[in-house]
Chains A and B, each alone.
Chain A
Amino acid sequence: MEIKTTAKQLLFLLIVTLTYVACKKDEGDSTIAGRPIIEAYLINDKAVSLKVYEQKGLLDTASYGAAITGLNITFSNGAKTITLNETANGVYTSTATDLVVPGNSCSFNFNYNGKVISGETTVPAKPVAFASSSSEQGVPNPDPDSSSTAFTAVNFTWNNSNKGYYLMVFRNQDDTPNRIGSGFGRRNAYEDREEYLGQVSAYKTQRMTFQFSGYYDVYLYHINPEYNNILNSSSNSSLNLTNPPTNIKNGLGIFTAMACDSLLLHVYEQ
């Protein structure tokens, strides 16, 4: 009997202890939803521009969160420290266009909700010896009933002895570019085409690279690896949701520098 009683007491104790543990809930970091989003691409020979805005509620149908206005943002390029002006709601820019210097380290900081939000990045060197095999690109009509003709790729090359990371953007100069072919089955609107290239030193165009004709600015960006790490990761299942990577302290988003060179390419329907 005695044993039974001891067992009962033990049991009771166990239950009490475990009930406490069983009811404890994981709190997590509840402050994260209040962190600001920063979007800044520092490009050589261009003004510094930082967009700062709030996150959205899950059911908010707006594209972007509300702009955060009235901030006092300090920007430093390693040599010079300035305060950015708010040129539009939540957009903070510099007037000078010579602040982003290859090789330099840039940083920003501001106070928001009692916390110092800051970020830092290094400006990569300008691409060297960016060249193309041709300044013209003929694209065959992709429609099913067209008599397809051969496609000759344009080869872009540059010097990448330091194993840098590169990104290429094709931007049509027209406001409303012309679609190649009748557009059968392809209703997508024109968008600048961005190709993340990684550590390579050449890029060859493909038949499907261009769906619109006209004059294109071909930008080659020498980027930091953070660009790709931050932007190209997402997971949408609850089985493994993680917070998106960022290089902003006490905030979210991206603050990265890149150095750019460009070429002109004429794209026409063959």
Chain B
Amino acid sequence: MIKKILIALLFVAILLKQADAQQRLLSKVTVTGFYTTTLDVVLDTLVKNHHLKIVFDRKLAEKKLISERFDETPLNLVLKSLCKSAELNYWVEPDGTIYLVRTPEEVRSLQRAQRAAQPVNTQTIRTITTVKTDTLNKESKKNALKLFKLTGRVVDQLSGESLPGAVVNIENTGIRATTNADGYFTLTQIPADTCVIATFYVGYLSDRLALTAINPNETLTIGLSVARNNLEEVTIKSKKNDGIMSTDKRKVSVLQISPAKLAELPNLGEKDILRSFQLMPGVSASNESSSGAYVRGGTPDQNLVLFDGFTVYQVDHLYGFFSAFNSNAVKDVLLYKGGFSAKYGGRLSSVTEITGKEGTKKDWNVGGDLSLLSANVYLETPVKKSGSFLLALRKSYQGPLYNKIFSQFNKTTTATMGFGGGRGPGGGAQAATTPTSYFYDLNAKYTLNLGKKDLLAWSVYQGDDDLDNSRTINIPSFLNTTNSSISPSVTDKTTYGNLGSSIKWSRRWNSDLYSNTLVSYSSYHSDRDRTNTIGVTNEDGTEKSVSTGTIERNRLKDWSFKSDWEYQINNQIKFLFGGYGSAQNVMYKYSQNDTSVLIDQYKNAKTATVYGEGEFSPWQKLQFKAGVRETYYSQTGKTYFEPRFSGTYLLTDRFTIKAATGKFYQFINRVVREDILSGSRDFWVLANGNSIPVGNANHYIAGFSYETDKYLFDVEGYYKTLNGLTEYAQRLTGNRMSSTLEEHFYNGRGYTSGVEFLLQKKAGKYTGWLSYTMAIARNQFNDYGSSYYSANQDARNEFKSVNMYKLGNWTFSATLIFATGKPYTAPVASYTIDNASGASRNYLTISGKNTERMPAYHRLDLAATLDLIKIDNRKTGSISFSLFNVYNRTNVWYKEYTIYNNQVITTNVNYLGFTPNITLSLKWK
């Protein structure tokens, strides 16, 4: 089966590679003018007048004299005649970038660097957009020495999608800005003419643009294109980052990831946004069974996940081996590891902000991925002139990979001695009929530009998992003495998922004031049905089915309203302020034997928040943010005040020191069940101030970074205190007639502390990073004793090495992870007591909570990705081969203890061993 798929995929790949096509120049630009000068001046003029992007060798162009006259001549003819007289050729990228090269071979060598006999002489090609100051347009002299203001937008050159979080700065000045959620930025007090504006965005080629030909009254659009393997772009001065991860040295504890480059990392079935965060420093990498982020000793429920503005409560697919986000529908992901802005709140540790793709504004496209786990298709199209639409669907199929992971979870179920009916399937009877299990998710987004100032976006996300391990018991006919038509069955079904939607209205009131208002709905559900059904014939001959077992349901609904405002006074001062209101209701129901409901909780809470934050940059070298956030929470009837601060200071050009602190509250907790296999694994509960307190945390972060053009060395240390932590246990007591389920909420506190080291190579053929984190996470719960113990997620040492090497159309990558084993509790002895009627019971004694350590977790993953490139240099897809856990390391997930024949038997439940995968990604155009 795998062989067949492999062969088919290879065949498609070969076909695609051969399907060469020519890219036409679609520009409608016409050129008028008479030129008797050097080629570089002509091209500079074209760039200025027509906002073109032309790449050429300046040294070469300076030597070529041009004498041409154009009268409303279409651009392609202009280029043709220029090339003819300069003995050059031109080449057009699908994103509109024009390349002028000496020979067609040079084009080819650009496209397929590996095919050329000699490597491309990288020094010969530069971006033209650096205009020489001596060729300045005279008009701009009017503006000379006059400070002006500029508003612009950074977009993807190819699709027209806005790029949030891109850094825009004026070279040789300290003036810089970061684009907002819609890609807009404002720079003020620009010292006119001689300026060059440089733009950086992770995974994209950086851009340098001379401001000479720009009308400051209009919104400037800066188009960036995705960094590609085979284009060697050299910009002399600018720093760049064509890797997968970026950190902005002017921000504290923020990581940004480029979904466009995700496919090049080794993956387990799917390119996965949240999984790739686990390769970053400060995010734990040894939790294969959770896509959620364990950030700096925090648990996944302390990480706020926002997708297009709404909170997502469940980020796992298939027991956590995959994240719930389809990377084809994601444009940008930011992870705030701590000390985050007053704009965000409601979680103790971190924030993951995901922005969905809007879809192309230029031309429709269809694409998709096929892997051994799932199939994924997306459609993007412009809608009329001002809108765009994106639809992405993903569904798993029960292929070999799916089944491998599914059985990892289900083969051990019968070994546990759960409470309440978890007795496993009957002995002698045969189990049959395996129902299908699957997960799917859907993303849809419609974006509409209303005029130049307003933007409306409607986003929907739905994802569900249906994990079914039910069985019908086939009783051999000679044993079947009843003629019941209802055959006995074991239901073991877990379903969970999210539905979320938001409508966002963004408005640029003027170049200084921007607002983003959002209404959203988000719901989460988790159901676990573990029942045994048998047919019973009543005395009157009628048949009915009787179920025994447990059914759990958890529902969470969240309606929210949010309005965020940005007011930029000047380059030195920017204010952020806004409000947030939400109504949440949480239901948790635990019923037994389809009749008796043991727990039936239904809680409502309302939250209202206002915040304000100032971003100050009194000197170029100093930048700091100070904010406050005040939240009213209806369950406790109290208000909670959260001050926040973060700042950076440039000691030298390369050396930055940074610090952040703040207070954080959390009003909703996800409690994890102690026995992960005999019930729904976790569910959300609202804090009530008594048994479930409102959690709070203090963050203290300090660090420095040393950054050169190609390298980044970053160190951050943190200390975080946590209060009001909650753990949960259920105890079923009573007999078969009247049982009560006691709920125990254990409350405690904790602290985490650590240092993260990161050495990153950001650009070049080889990119990647080494990261080392030393961390401590300790908790103290009175129920476990008065002293602190290592928290479950504590991993003292964590080392990660991520390596990517580009060779022509191939990208090879290797990731190595080493982490100290997780702490666990092990029994030291056992004993037996008889109860009053003489029945014996076994007990295990432990020396202390989490005193033992699992063996170290380590794993090597490898991947090779081939970009499928057409002759015109368009990337139409990729095919990637991925090997997970190459040397088949047995990493222990957890240990289970069963008492058999008076002995305590320890069983290791392991994580996945060696798992290969192949993924084919294609797009129509």
Query: What is A's interface to B at a CB cutoff of 8 Å?
Result: 3-4, 7, 11, 14, 18, 21-22, 25-30, 32-33, 35, 37, 39, 41, 53, 55-65, 144-145, 148, 150, 167, 169, 171, 191-198, 200, 203-204, 206, 221, 227-228, 231-244, 252-254, 258
Contact = CB atoms under 8 A, between A and B. Distances in A.
Nearest to B832: A64
B717 A14 contact: yes
Contacts of A150: 539
Nearest to A227: B836
Given A55-B830, A62-B902, 20 more contacts: A18-B755, A21-B776, A25-B853, A27-B848, A28-B851, A29-B785, A29-B848, A32-B829, A33-B845, A59-B903, A65-B831, A169-B837, A193-B837, A195-B735, A235-B729, A236-B416, A239-B675, A241-B897, A252-B831, A258-B836
B480 to A, nearest CB: 9
B543 interface: no
A243 B846 contact: yes
Most B C-beta atoms less than 10 A away, residue of A22, A228, A239: A239
Most A C-beta atoms less than 10 A away, residue of B481, B676, B737: B737
Given A59-B903, A167-B836, A237 B846 contact: no
B845 A63 contact: no
Contacts of A171: 837
A260 B755 CA distance: 62
Contacts of B789: 26
A234 B731 CA distance: 9
Interface in B411-443: 416-417
Contacts of A21: 774, 776
B835 A194 contact: yes
Contact of B851 (A14, A27, A58, A206): A27
Interface in B797-853: 797, 823-851, 853
A241 B826 contact: yes
Contacts of B792: 239
A55 B845 contact: yes
B826 A243 contact: no
B476 interface: no
B731 A236 contact: no
Contacts of B826: 238, 241
A234 B841 contact: yes
Given A26-B850, A27-B848, A63 B729 contact: no
B909 to A, nearest CB: 9
B835 A3 contact: no
A65 to B, nearest CB: 6
Given A237-B676, A239-B674, A241-B825, A30 B733 contact: no
Nearest to B840: A63
A148 B796 CA distance: 64
Contacts of A58: 827-830, 903-904, 906
Interface in B757-782: 774, 776
Q: Kindly list the 9 A-B residue pairs having the minimum CB-CB distance in the complex, ordered from nearest.
A: A28-B848, A240-B674, A28-B851, A55-B829, A28-B847, A192-B837, A194-B837, A241-B825, A58-B904
B595 interface: no
B829 A206 contact: no
A22 B828 contact: no
B796 A22 contact: yes
B837 A26 contact: no
Given A30-B847, A241-B826, A196 B903 contact: no
Contact of A238 (B731, B755, B785, B894): B894
Nearest to B735: A195
B832 A232 contact: no
11 contacts: A3-B655, A27-B848, A27-B851, A29-B847, A39-B834, A55-B845, A169-B837, A194-B837, A197-B738, A238-B897, A241-B827
A108 B566 CA distance: 72
A238 B895 contact: yes
Contact of B901 (A61, A197, A203, A253): A61
B364 interface: no
B90 interface: no
Contact of B740 (A18, A27, A198): A198
Contact of A59 (B783, B785, B825, B904): B904
B894 A242 contact: no
Contact of B894 (A18, A192, A239): A239
B895 A231 contact: no
Interface in B557-584: none
Most B C-beta atoms less than 10 A away, residue of A11, A28, A196: A28
Given A18-B755, A243-B846, A253-B831, A237 B836 contact: no
A60 to B, nearest CB: 7
Contacts of B903: 58-61
A199 to B, nearest CB: 10
B849 A242 contact: yes
A183 to B, nearest CB: 15
Nearest to B850: A26
Given A28-B847, A55-B831, A58-B904, A198 B738 contact: yes
A193 B755 CA distance: 58
Contacts of A238: 824-826, 894-897
B735 A196 contact: yes
Contacts of B706: 4, 7
B651 interface: yes
Contacts of B834: 39
A144 B831 contact: no
B847 A39 contact: no
B845 A244 contact: yes
Given A33-B829, A60-B902, A231-B835, A237 B735 contact: no
A109 B683 CA distance: 45
Contacts of B828: 32-33, 58
Contacts of A56: 829-832, 902
Most B C-beta atoms less than 10 A away, residue of A21, A35, A57, A236: A236
A11 B759 CA distance: 14
A132 to B, nearest CB: 16
B389 to A, nearest CB: 45
Contacts of A33: 828-829, 845, 847
B825 A194 contact: no
Contacts of A64: 831-832
Contact of B652 (A3, A14, A25, A196): A3
A197 B895 CA distance: 34
A145 to B, nearest CB: 5
B784 A242 contact: yes
A30 B829 CA distance: 11
A37 B733 contact: no
Contacts of A62: 902
Given A55-B845, A194-B839, A231 B851 contact: no
B734 interface: yes
A123 to B, nearest CB: 14
